[in-house]
Amino acid sequence: MSRRILTKQLESIVPGTQIDTYFDKVIKYIPADIVGAWVTVTGLIKSGGDVPTTMLLWIAFILGIVLTAVWTVKQTSVKNKPPAITQTVVSTGAFIVWVFALGGPFVTLGFYRPLYGSLLLILYTLIVALIDPPED
């Protein structure tokens, strides 16, 4: 299964390939592999003992944003098609929302409450699957 979201029947050139449904888009928009790596990295940083935890979490977060964008562009590239910019932006946003929901470096900010992250995660996940990328 390709990671690129297919919204038009003409895009599914492989016989038997269907356009993506709402649920397919939810799965393809969420960068589960990067979120899994984030969970691992934060666990390692927090167990690191005498290290600047907050600074390392912010650095890892910024690197995660860049990695998500690059990884999504690479995973969704299809020969003779433009880059999947919309999917890349939405997936990168999904990474940011997941990190916010999990706490990450945001717990050091005075306004942060876990409830905000959880509500944002639910809302973002439900809404983004309604987006059909315009890239052919």
Instruction: Tell me how crowded residue 65 is: count the other CB atoms within 10 A of its CB.
Output: 16
Given the structure tokens 């650095």, which residue do they identify? 59
pTM over 0.85: yes
Contacts of 108 (CB under 8 A, 6+ apart): 54
Output the tens digit of pLDDT for each of the chain's 136 residues. Answer: 578 888 876 544 556 667 888 999 999 999 999 999 999 999 999 998 899 999 999 999 999 999 999 999 999 998 888 999 999 999 999 999 999 999 999 999 999 999 999 999 999 999 999 998 988 5
